[in-house]
Each structure stands twice: as structure tokens, then as C-alpha cells.
Amino acid sequence: MRQRSSYPKPFKAQVVQECLQPGATVSSVAISHGINANVIRKWMPLYRDQPAATSLPAFVPLKAAPKRPAEATVIIE
């Protein structure tokens, strides 16, 4: 029989925060961590308001520079 897994509290908080990110689903986060989605759903009310142990990469909007046409010499024959 398989032994029950135990996860540290900071890890649980991080997983819950990943689930709360825009576009993320509990099932996709569960699959990426190899955890049953129902386990994460039990963690949601317990760790929803706690900060994640590690900061997740933040989206930083950047303005792309306009593409300049390459200067070339045109020779008409």
C-alpha cells in the first residue's frame, strides 16, 4: 500500500498561488506537480491568503521598438 505524501506548508502555499494566477487551472497545476487536483482543492481555503514561499516571475510589459527598414542600395539596370 502506498504511503500518504506530506508536503511542507510553503510548498502548499506556492501551489495554491499558482492556481490563482490568471489562466491557470487547478488540474493543470496539479498535473505539473504530480499531485491529485482534489488535494490542491483542499489546500485552497487554508493557503489562499498566504504568500507563496518563492516569488513567481511577474509579467513586465515592454514596448517593442518599431522595426526600421534595413538601409539598402537599390540599383536599377
Whether 72 is in a domain gets the answer no
Please list, in sequence order, all residues whose beta carbon lies within 8 angstroms of the beta carbon of residue 40, skipping any fewer than 6 positions away.
15, 16, 19, 26, 29, 30
Answer whether residue 26 is part of any domain. Answer: yes
pLDDT tens for each residue of 26-36: 999 999 999 99
Give residue 20's domain range: 9-47
* pLDDT tens digits for range 10-54: 899 999 999 999 999 999 999 999 999 999 999 999 887 776 555
- Does the predicted model carry a pTM greater than 0.75? no
Residue 34 lies in a domain: yes
Cβ-contact 19, 25 below 8 angstroms: yes
Q: Is residue 24 part of a domain?
A: yes
Per the structure, the count of domains in the chain is 1
Per-residue CA distances from 20 to 25, 45, 67, 75 (Å): 8, 12, 36, 59
Amino acid at 36: N
